[in-house]
Structure 1
Amino acid sequence: MRRLRQLAERTPAGRERYVDLLRALAITMVVLGHWAVTVIGHDRAGHPTGHSALGDLPWAWPLTWVAQVMPVFFLVGGYANAASLTTRRHRGGNATGWLIDRSARLVRPTTALLVVLAVGAAVASLRGANPVEVRTVVWFATIPLWFLVAYLIVVPLTPPMYALHRRFGLAVPVVLVGLVALGDLGRLLGPAGLATGNYLFGWLAVHQLGFAWYDARSPDNPRRRRLPLSRRAGATLLAVGLAALVLLTVVGPYPVVLLNVPGERLDNAAPPSLALLAAATAQLGLILLLRGPAGRWLRRRGPWQAVIAVNTVVLTVFLWHLTAAVLLVGLLDALGVLPTPRVGSAAWWAWRIPWLLALAVILAALVAIFGPIEARSRRSAPPADARRGPESARGSPGWSRVRTALAVAGYTGIVAGLLLNSLTRKAAPEPLGLPAPALVAYLAGAGALRLLRSGWGSQG
């Protein structure tokens, strides 16, 4: 508590605390949403398995317009990335140094998850567990990494995309939305492969709005870069976004549900569709409408300390929340008391409360163990390149290019490893739970970034 009080007291007066609240709320909603819609059953071999209840609860599909909060996370990610990059440059640092240090907050908690899962899977395999069953368990536990792949691609693109924003402002997300529309035409009319770019264009569009929000707080920025932050602008965005969402889903060809439901004509989130971007517009409008009251509430010490506490371990909570579900299911199944009521039945609804409480207890234990890894990576320190001064930070042009190339290669290895794991089928025989090439690529990328963070990359 003392450290939380210190962090709260040290908060700069100009900090947009609302951004931190939104990040905490977005991840909390993801965790509770995944847990709440989980359906537990048994496969033909009698082993426990799980899936989403959304396919059996079509009446709940409009609720995903609020529950699909990944756009909120990319919005606040854009704000935070623009703010940290700008601060880094003001201190004499550069984009490469920013990227290297930024990786610690994302990679260290992720590495802890993957190493623990791989070691646990290896032990289970050595004790005679079926490699297919080992992979299935790890596959469920690593579902959150699907989202992290997209975000880890967006982060290294922040310097060039922020430069585009500084030059062209809100025209950049407009162009990106146009590219998403083109991709959706491919999904609806063919060829479907045309929509692959939507994984990048859709999330980049929302990320760019985070840049505009950050720049809107500076009075010396040109109007083209400003995001209107008034309540009137919020009401307009909310109305326009909801109207577009209704037209695209109820009248148009897009599913009402914004999360994956097997059998639907397309998935609005994978890749992001125009319908998801319409929902993002409505969510942005609601965010702006609540910005004033939320900002005043966060000036109070108690709420702000709570937000700080969640944000120090927010990625750990996200990464481990499905591992908590796997552990609980395994424990209850081993004890022979695993409930498997029919979806929508009174027993299923009654089971939601003890289910959520038990998961919260297990996740709290996991966060207590692994949260310090993320908390340490978030402790602020003067940038290494800034401490050595501008001349040392620049170094020789040749070495700077090598350092940048190594940083990009490190991120590429991490993304490739996570993507390969996500694309590998659930029933693949993997004694380590993760495909060996994916694990090697990820660890090589993480190792390269760790080496650069240690200062080796600045000795040129």
Structure 2
Amino acid sequence: MTLAASIDARTPAHRDRAVDGLRALALLAVPTGHWLLGGFALTPDGAIRNASPLTALGGLAPVSWVLQMLGIFFLVGGFASALSYARHTGPVRDWLKGRLARLGRPVLGVTAVWAALLALLHYGLGVPEGTLRTASTLVVQPLWFVGVYTVITALTPYCVRAARRLGVWAAAPLLAVVAVVDALRYGPYGEAMPGWLSLVNILPGWMFAYQLGVSWAQGRVTRRHAWGLLLGGGALFAVLLLVLHYPASMVGVPGEARTNSHPPSLLVLALAAAQSGAAVLLRERLGRLLRRPALWAPVVVVNLSAMTILCWHQTAMLAAAIPASYGGELTGLIGAPDTAGWVLARLAWMPVFAVLLVLIGRYARRFETPWANTGTALRATAGVLAAGFAVFALA
């Protein structure tokens, strides 16, 4: 029996392959987006700094529409959490403790390891401090998601109650909050609004798709609702982009005053609505497709390594970039990302990053498993190292 056939045979019959496939797709979009839309430039002292190809190549913005799949990730996260919560028979705090530990261990692992690496790279190998600050920023960059997801996961019992009462419409108030905040900060009196106002969008903005997923798990999102989400989200996206002139890129662009994702704007929710509607409509077709062992096996592998991919994919890119920076500019890796040639070269580099991630993941995946045999002193040391790294990265 082949490995793919063996994985397929061990898959429980009740497993929702379509939802797992959507999660895997959203997971892979994260490193793909960061690797493609993130570049490095050299500073005069030989350090590397972040540089985005979107600064000079605005035509790449539609790529970010495809690769911004956090809406799908939160959708399937809500779906899976609702089913897990429904199956749990003990106290709610035990359910939350298990869910949150699965998120926290890999984050603690990557930040503790990088705290030790900072000292080794700087004092042992002479890596410039500017390079280390760039590296720290990139490592922390995807971890904001874990913090937001943790808070939203803790709110699952309330999401379940809202879905029982309102069904798919439970997500509507979240959309309304983001719309009001956007109207205030981008409207005629936007300059008079306090700077912290945009932060109000963080929780409802990312919780929108999660709530849709919870309602979906309870059978409260029909195909009619899905068509409404797809068409309505698409129409809202077009209006915001073409009429209200929201930034075209779904990720931040250096030098731009406005950003869609940090915190999420109404454009992000419009995209999430359209993606969610498409996901619901394609569920059965995708499920049939993933009955093929050759297609199902990679989905299983990606899902089993979810937090490893999320936490370590930037490290894989840095593992190539930091040594290369000592040799000067190297197209697609080190140097201004401002030409079509850079894009083509970066596409050629991405398989290298993928191989490095696989190699790193062989060791890093242990952070996803329970630390049953880890002593209190070692856990405390990891916590101190992680806190030190966070201070350095966010300074």
Relative distance call for 1:236 and 1:168 in structure 2 (3 A) is: closer
1:210-359 matches, within 5 Å, as 210-216=213-219, 226-228=220-222, 230=223, 233-336=225-328, 338-339=330-331, 340=334, 342-359=336-353
Distance 1:32 1:72 in 2: 15
Whether contact under 8 Å (1:255, 1:265) holds in the other structure is no
1:231-251 per-residue CA deviation (whole Å, 9 max, x = no partner) reads x55444322211111101110
Distance 1:346 1:279 in 2: 27
Distance 1:120 1:281 in 2: 41
Whether contact under 8 Å (1:187, 1:195) holds in the other structure is yes
Relative distance call for 1:73 and 1:314 in structure 2 (3 A) is: same
Secondary structure of 1:154's match?
helix
Relative distance call for 1:93 and 1:307 in structure 2 (3 A) is: same
Q: Does 1:26 align with 2:30?
A: no
Whether contact under 8 Å (1:173, 1:208) holds in the other structure is yes
Distance 1:68 1:96 in 2: 32
Partner of 2:379: none
Distance 1:341 1:298 in 2: 41
Percent identity between matched residues is 34
Partner of 2:139: 141
Distance 1:234 1:178 in 2: 19
1:35-74 matches, within 5 Å, as 35-74=35-74
Pairing partner for 1:371 from 361, 365, 376: 365
Whether contact under 8 Å (2:52, 2:254) holds in the other structure is no
Q: How far 1:198 moved relative to its partner?
A: 0.7
For structure 1, which segment, 23-32 or 185-194, has the greater mean C-alpha deviation from structure 2 after superposition?
185-194
Q: How far 1:306 moved relative to its partner?
A: 1.8
Q: Does 1:205 align with 2:208?
A: yes
Distance 1:3 1:313 in 2: 17
Partner of 1:156: 154
Secondary structure of 2:291's match?
coil
Letter in 1 for 2:300: I
Letter in 2 for 1:153: V
Relative distance call for 1:46 and 1:337 in structure 2 (3 A) is: closer
Relative distance call for 1:344 and 1:235 in structure 2 (3 A) is: farther
Letter in 1 for 2:356: I
1:140-178 per-residue CA deviation (whole Å, 9 max, x = no partner) reads 222111222211211111122222322333332111111
Whether contact under 8 Å (1:186, 1:192) holds in the other structure is no
Letter in 2 for 1:321: H
Distance 1:328 1:133 in 2: 13
Secondary structure of 1:40's match?
strand
Q: How far 1:300 moved relative to its partner?
A: 2.1
Relative distance call for 1:135 and 1:48 in structure 2 (3 A) is: closer
Q: How far 1:296 moved relative to its partner?
A: 0.5
Distance 2:390 2:119 in 1: 10
Distance 1:125 1:38 in 2: 23
Secondary structure of 1:41's match?
strand
**Unaligned 5+ residue runs, structure 1?**
217-225, 379-413, 422-431, 439-460
Secondary structure of 1:338's match?
coil
Relative distance call for 1:7 and 1:97 in structure 2 (3 A) is: farther
Distance 1:158 1:151 in 2: 11
Distance 1:292 1:67 in 2: 23
Larger radius of gyration: 1
1:315-356 per-residue CA deviation (whole Å, 9 max, x = no partner) reads 101211111111111121235563345534353133123311
1:358-378 per-residue CA deviation (whole Å, 9 max, x = no partner) reads 11111111111112432x359
Q: Does 1:121 align with 2:118?
A: yes
Distance 1:147 1:57 in 2: 26
Pairing partner for 2:102 from 96, 102, 105: 105
Relative distance call for 1:353 and 1:132 in structure 2 (3 A) is: closer
Indicate the structure whose relative CO is greater, using CA pairs within 8 Å and at least 6 residues apart.
Answer: 2
Secondary structure of 2:155's match?
helix
Relative distance call for 1:6 and 1:357 in structure 2 (3 A) is: closer
**Unaligned 5+ residue runs, structure 2?**
372-382
Secondary structure of 2:41's match?
strand
Relative distance call for 1:112 and 1:94 in structure 2 (3 A) is: same
Distance 2:322 2:138 in 1: 12
Distance 1:357 1:437 in 2: 27
Runs of 4+ in structure 1 displaced over 4 angstroms?
1-7, 128-133
Relative distance call for 1:3 and 1:370 in structure 2 (3 A) is: farther
Partner of 1:193: 196
Q: How far 1:123 moved relative to its partner?
A: 2.9
Distance 2:103 2:6 in 1: 24
For structure 1, which segment, 193-202 or 262-271, has the greater mean C-alpha deviation from structure 2 after superposition?
262-271
Pairing partner for 1:175 from 166, 173, 176: 173
Relative distance call for 1:60 and 1:26 in structure 2 (3 A) is: same
Relative distance call for 1:341 and 1:434 in structure 2 (3 A) is: closer
1:266-287 per-residue CA deviation (whole Å, 9 max, x = no partner) reads 2111111111111111112222
For structure 1, which segment, 130-139 or 202-211, has the greater mean C-alpha deviation from structure 2 after superposition?
130-139
Q: How far 1:99 moved relative to its partner?
A: 0.8
* Count of residues paired in the alignment: 375
Partner of 1:435: 391
Letter in 2 for 1:151: Y
Per the normalisation by structure 1, the TM-score is 0.75
